Structure 1
Amino acid sequence: MVSLTAASVVPVSRAMALLSVGCLAAALMAYLLVRQLVKQRRPPGFPPGPSPIPIIGNIFSLATEPHVFLKRQSEVHGQIFSLDLGGIMTVVLNGYDCVKECLYHQSEVFADRPSLPLFKKMTKMGGLLNSKYGKGWNDHRKLACNSFRYFGSGLRLFERKISEECMFFVDAIDEHKGKPFNPKHLVTNAVSNITNLIIFGQRFTYDDRDFQHMIELFSENVELAVSGWALLYNAFPWIEYMPFGKHQKLFRNAMEVYDFLLEVIKRFSHGRVPHVPRHYVDAYLDELEQNSGDPSSSFSYENLIYSVGELIIAGTETTTNTLRWAMLYMALYPNIQERVHREIDSVLTNGRAPTLEDKHKMPFVEAVLHEILRFCNIVPLGIFRATSQEAKVNGYTIPKGTMVITNLYSVHFDEKYWNEPGVFSPQRFLDSSGNFVRREAFLPFSLGKRHCLGEQLARMEMFLFFTTLLQRFHLQFPPGTVPTVTPKLGMTLQPKHYSICAIRRQQKVPNS
């Protein structure tokens, strides 16, 4: 009898244990579900928005052409509305009036960065681009601005360096002898070298395989950073422990890039003389040494790596994609290209190389470049921002720390400021006399305290590369082909791969 009783007790105990574990798991799931649903409740006075799906919110709405989706939603909910990105309450700004009100009139309020798990994982909210608004960001931005001024766009000598890179660029194109080629590789190399001169004091050759690989990883991460997996990671950071998903590729790429940058920084800081900086890396190391005893200082080797990487990608992506779109649209609109040729030839007599002083003499070239930036929307959603304090906009209350998306695409397609915005027309930047005119609702470099610090340099590069290219070549597609103008989605909108023929024009041009 005793043995029977003992035998019957064991199964009951196991059943009870399993039941207890099941109850605990169910309770935990219920708690997490309720916690998630509470996070998804809109605060009082918060802007309205599209209805979210429980748990995941509106994440999947941003899977394809998010800038277009957000502009359409603004027609339903107004210029300022909210999204639920898996419990991350987000405000979206649409249209020029709304963006100007927030980024210009309330610049400091909208100058922070959201504390997203992705940013924390990638840069620990340090460096320059993704750092929180405060002393650390101010110190890093001031150093970067001074470096761009002292080693770059503030120097007359630097214009000559850009012109030299332009010649390397067109000579490399000339090697294709008018046959079809994909311009992405050459454009990316040429543009990145301008930033490299400021950061490292030296350019990289177009066949430097290590640097090429790093740029490719950067470009891939620009796409992955706004993929569905990245958005899911921000909402549910525990998926980091899943062995699959594009977010894992993003993290691997970042680690490989950081290792490479560390070696490059060591190489180019060799022979450094304190307080006699040759480039940005030297200037940063000076700041690091000067602030070594200050516990509040944000200068560190780790933030140096993050800052260098961010400056390289920021200085490369926008200008590279602008020039790639410009080449595509010149071939797509040969009549516009012909007018560009005529203007260049009339100003650059005897085939002399272009200079920045020629800019005001080429209003149509300026109009074309501005229309490329407007129409192609290189960075359609800018870089995500956050409120540094509670904000009041259009009668709504936005709590401190709320993530903010600025839909710059909606600014450049704002019917209030642009006539037929869906039509590619450089003429909109010219007056009746053919003079170039600036347009108010033109914000490709964003606005406010977080606007692009390399804007002046980017404008210099775009003009000199574009005029040098069109001075020497006529651009056309291979016979029987017309590439798509549907962009490749990511943090930037870049053209999908295309081939083009650069035919040497019958004109005297300067030797390399």
Structure 2
Amino acid sequence: MVSIRLPYLGSAVQYGHTCVGLCSLLVTLLFVLLIRQLAKQRRPPGFPPGPSPIPVIGNIFSLATEPHVFMKKQSEIYGQVFSLDLGGYSTVVLNGYDTMRECLYHQSDVFIDRPSLPLFNKMTKMGGLLNAKYGRGWIEHRKLASNTFRYFGSVQKQFERKISEECMFFVDAIDDHKGKPFNPKHLVTNAVSNITNLIIFGERFTYDDHDFQHMIEIFSENVELAVSGWSFLYNAFPWIEYIPFGKHQKLFRNAAEVYEFLLLIIERFSEGRNPQSPRHYIDSYMDELDQITTESDSIWSKENLIYSVGELIIAGTETTTNTIRWAMLYMALYPNIQEKVHKEIDSVLGNGKPPSLEDKQSMPYVEAVLHEVLRFCNIVPLGIFRATTQDAVVNSYTIPKGTMVITNLYSVHFDEKYWTDPGTFSPQRFLDSNGDFVRREAFVPFSLGRRHCLGEQLARMEMFLFFTTLLQNFNLQFPPGIVPNLTPKLGMTLQPLPYSICAVRRQQ
């Protein structure tokens, strides 16, 4: 007799039950997460209206291209205060000068915080300076930075001479191209960054310092990556950190490389330090570290020093660099405007002497051109995201404490209530009938309130001296047959797409 043994099916059945159980658990978990995410997307009572969000993702995809333009268009539908859902983060968008002034100036202490976003936590642990939460840490770090920028920078006459010296290094580097086409980004970036370097490190870096150039390039790349779709998705779903691909991973790798480099140069420039006799920002920060006696002083740390130095470098470089690059582009694009700039510079500096800040009041047209570049090009169109420190009421809407707030500065500079034909590049709007420079109320490139750009005074000095020195020495024009693309490269700042330009020596 042949016996046939049937296979034992108990283990297979048990395995099947286990799989079914795990799948059920997973489906239940996903369902709970979905319900939780949808609940987060519900607008609180009295919250501003806005475009309908996609379930779970919200309005993130709407910010993929020209988010500042999208937000201004939405304000024409929903009003100057409206809301977006950014993956479960209920966000209020402020548009127009009247709203911006009400919130950032009259309610400055309410709209002064930073949102607790996973990306900010990952990058700086909500420390440092620019992304720090409102509180003693931010107040003390801003106070130190402001005092350092004044003491080592803007209040010293000799610092103006240092900027003028850098302007001549810049001119000499441009001269090396002998009027042939070149991309000015590299030279402008190095020249501008050196002004901030003088305050932070007490020294400038040569234009062929490849390590420092590499760091600046990484910083510039991160300014773009920080507002990419992947970054918004990371804020909504932090678990994607474990996905090995995506622009957020590039952002994190760049940050780690930059922080490692900054640690090295901080240690290098703190050598030979004489306590309480600071030579630059790093020494001043080290003096604060020396004073730590209690745990409450822990706002000062080596880690926060690295974050602060990095933020000051990029804030002091990216905005002014892009302003000058846009100014060069528009001078070549509008030779009639450039000719008026040349005439004014020649009339004030007829003997070929280098420009000084005292000459600014005698150059209203130069001032008007620089202001129009800042208005028209909107270097930082959305500012840096803010958050409310307490419940607020704006335009009869209720904005709860901790709500993320986006300030659409672009909408202010294109606010038809304050600007005639805002879509036209016209320096004349900053001049009166006598040709004198006129300040305009709805001009906020450095934002408003207590969290406005602390480097505004330094930036204005740099822009005037670099631009005037450049136009005193060169005539800017595009290579024959070249028409530049005026579409900005999107990021936290709006920078020109790479372009070539010819800087031809002027006959003095």
TM bucket (normalised to shorter chain) is over 0.9
1:340 corresponds to: 341
1:313 corresponds to: 314
SS in 1 for 2:306: helix
Shift of 1:7: 2.0
Please give the alpha-carbon distance, in whole angstroms, between the structure 1 residues aligned to 2:267 and 2:297. 25
Instruction: Report whether the alignment pairs 1:264 with 2:265.
Output: yes
Please give the alpha-carbon distance, in whole angstroms, between the structure 2 residues aligned to 1:353 and 1:175. 20
Q: Which amino acid aligns with 1:317?
A: E
1:248-291 residue CA offsets vs partner (Å, 9 max, x unmatched): 00000000000000000011010000000000000000011112
Please give the alpha-carbon distance, in whole angstroms, between the structure 1 residues aligned to 2:5 and 2:89. 58
2:238 corresponds to: 237
Q: Which amino acid aligns with 2:241?
A: E
SS in 1 for 2:91: strand
Q: CA 1:16–1:319 in 2, change beyond 3 Å: closer, same or farther?
A: same
Aligned residues: 506
1:349-391 residue CA offsets vs partner (Å, 9 max, x unmatched): 2100100000000000000000000000000000000001111
1:500 corresponds to: 501
* TM-score, normalised by the number of residues in structure 1: 0.98
1:44-93 residue CA offsets vs partner (Å, 9 max, x unmatched): 11101000000100000000000000000000000000000000110000
1:487 corresponds to: 488
Shift of 1:482: 1.4
2:329 corresponds to: 328
Q: Which amino acid aligns with 2:233?
A: L
1:266-415 equivalent positions in 2, closer than 5 A: 266-415=267-416
Instruction: Report whether the alignment pairs 1:85 with 2:64.
Output: no
1:138 corresponds to: 139
SS in 1 for 2:351: helix
1:213-250 residue CA offsets vs partner (Å, 9 max, x unmatched): 00000000000000000000000000000000000000
1:427-446 equivalent positions in 2, closer than 5 A: 427-446=428-447
Please give the alpha-carbon distance, in whole angstroms, between the structure 1 residues aligned to 2:68 and 2:425. 18
2:421 corresponds to: 420
Q: Which amino acid aligns with 2:273?
A: R
1:46-65 equivalent positions in 2, closer than 5 A: 46-65=47-66
Please give the alpha-carbon distance, in whole angstroms, between the structure 1 residues aligned to 2:296 and 2:372. 47
Please give the alpha-carbon distance, in whole angstroms, between the structure 1 residues aligned to 2:391 and 2:359. 47
Please give the alpha-carbon distance, in whole angstroms, between the structure 1 residues aligned to 2:43 and 2:328. 45
2:189 corresponds to: 188
1:117 corresponds to: 118
Q: Which amino acid aligns with 1:314?
A: A
Shift of 1:11: 2.8
Q: Which amino acid aligns with 1:441?
A: A
Percent identity between matched residues is 78
Q: Which amino acid aligns with 1:123?
A: T
Q: Which amino acid aligns with 1:82?
A: S
SS in 2 for 1:7: coil
Please give the alpha-carbon distance, in whole angstroms, between the structure 2 residues aligned to 1:308 and 1:475. 34
Q: Which amino acid aligns with 1:129?
A: L
1:22-43 residue CA offsets vs partner (Å, 9 max, x unmatched): 1111110111110110111111
SS in 2 for 1:350: coil
Shift of 1:294: 4.1
1:159-174 equivalent positions in 2, closer than 5 A: 159-174=160-175
Please give the alpha-carbon distance, in whole angstroms, between the structure 1 residues aligned to 2:436 and 2:10. 95
Q: Which amino acid aligns with 1:453?
A: L
Please give the alpha-carbon distance, in whole angstroms, between the structure 2 residues aligned to 1:169 and 1:8. 81
2:228 corresponds to: 227
Please give the alpha-carbon distance, in whole angstroms, between the structure 2 residues aligned to 1:386 and 1:67. 18
Q: Which runs of 5+ in 2 are unaligned?
A: none
SS in 2 for 1:295: helix
Please give the alpha-carbon distance, in whole angstroms, between the structure 2 residues aligned to 1:372 and 1:495. 12
SS in 2 for 1:404: strand
Please give the alpha-carbon distance, in whole angstroms, between the structure 2 residues aligned to 1:85 and 1:324. 32
Shift of 1:134: 0.4
303-312 or 16-25, which deviates more = 16-25
Shift of 1:4: 7.5
Shift of 1:10: 2.8
Please give the alpha-carbon distance, in whole angstroms, between the structure 1 residues aligned to 2:115 and 2:48. 18
1:25 corresponds to: 26
1:126-147 residue CA offsets vs partner (Å, 9 max, x unmatched): 0000000000000000000000
Please give the alpha-carbon distance, in whole angstroms, between the structure 2 residues aligned to 1:8 and 1:290. 73
* TM-score, normalised by the number of residues in structure 2: 0.98
Q: Which amino acid aligns with 2:388?
A: T
1:27-46 equivalent positions in 2, closer than 5 A: 27-46=28-47
SS in 2 for 1:497: coil
Q: Which runs of 5+ in 1 are unaligned?
A: 508-512
1:440-478 residue CA offsets vs partner (Å, 9 max, x unmatched): 000000000110000000000000000000000000000
Please give the alpha-carbon distance, in whole angstroms, between the structure 1 residues aligned to 2:481 and 2:70. 33
Shift of 1:292: 4.0
Q: Which amino acid aligns with 2:99?
A: C
1:172-206 residue CA offsets vs partner (Å, 9 max, x unmatched): 10110000000000000000000000000000000
Shift of 1:5: 9.1
Shift of 1:296: 4.1
Q: Which amino acid aligns with 2:193?
A: S
Shift of 1:293: 2.9
Q: Which amino acid aligns with 1:99?
A: M
Please give the alpha-carbon distance, in whole angstroms, between the structure 1 residues aligned to 2:344 and 2:440. 22
Please give the alpha-carbon distance, in whole angstroms, between the structure 2 residues aligned to 1:325 and 1:473. 16
1:368-424 residue CA offsets vs partner (Å, 9 max, x unmatched): 000000000000000000001111111111111110000000000000000000000
SS in 2 for 1:328: helix
Please give the alpha-carbon distance, in whole angstroms, between the structure 2 residues aligned to 1:301 and 1:91. 35
SS in 2 for 1:474: strand
Please give the alpha-carbon distance, in whole angstroms, between the structure 1 residues aligned to 2:14 and 2:406. 55
1:100 corresponds to: 101
Please give the alpha-carbon distance, in whole angstroms, between the structure 1 residues aligned to 2:292 and 2:107. 32
1:510 corresponds to: none
Q: Which amino acid aligns with 1:500?
A: I
SS in 2 for 1:83: strand
Shift of 1:8: 3.6
2:253 corresponds to: 252
483-492 or 17-26, which deviates more = 17-26
Instruction: Give runs of ≥4 in structure 1 deviating > 3 Å.
Output: 3-6
